Amino acid sequence: KNEVEQSPQNLTAQEGEFITINCSYSVGISALHWLQQHPGGGIVSLFMLSSGKKKHGRLIATINIQEKHSSLHITASHPRDSAVYICAALYNTDKLIFGTGTRLQVFP
């Protein structure tokens, strides 16, 4: 069964801390997506990865194909980073399978 698991489910941090959110998946994905869901409910696509590493501002996403694992890192976290972060795997079809999300709260 194609599954996506995220950890941790909930994460709290002080402003400035380095954040890591993890995502593991089954074999055979063709792409891995990271999304951000704002407290108001809106969803924004952050990254699509099929290999290696991507960086956008303070966000870094990595993927290790052999270990079936991806991480999303936030450097110098800020209260505005508070959101739910979601990973989703594309399993050689056009269907995305989503994790249940990691709720991040960053306190000043």
Partner 1 sequence: NAGVTQTPKFQVLKTGQSMTLQCAQDMNHEYMSWYRQDPGMGLRLIHYSVGAGITDQGEVPNGYNVSRSTTEDFPLRLLSAAPSQTSVYFCASSYSLRDSGANVLTFGAGSRLTVL
36 vs 43: CA distance, rounded Å:
6
Three-state secondary structure call for residue 94: coil
Evaluate whether 86 touches 7 at the Cβ level (below 8 Å).
no
Residues 58-97, interacting with partner 1 (CB under 8 A): 86, 88, 90, 94-97
Task: Find the helix or strand (DSSP H, E) in which 56 lies.
Answer: strand 52-56
Question: Tokens for 38?
Answer: 């704002």
Instruction: Using CB under 8 A, count the residues that bind partner 1.
Output: 26
Per-residue contact flags (x/-) with partner 1 for residues 2 to 41, judged by CB under 8 A:
--x-------------------------xx-x-x-----x
Interacting residue with partner 1 among 8, 14, 44, 55 (CB under 8 A): 44
Residue whose CB is less far from partner 1, 15 or 43:
43
**25-42 exposure pattern, b = at least 16 Cβ within 10 A, e = fewer:** beeebeebbbbbeeeeee
Interacting residue with partner 1 among 7, 39, 98, 107 (CB under 8 A): 98
73 vs 30: CA distance, rounded Å:
21
**Shortest CB 25 distance to partner 1, Å:** 12
Determine, following the binding rule CB under 8 A, whether residue 43 of this chain makes contact with partner 1. yes
Note the residues at the interface with partner 1 (CB under 8 A): 4, 30-31, 33, 35, 41-48, 50, 56, 86, 88, 90, 94-101
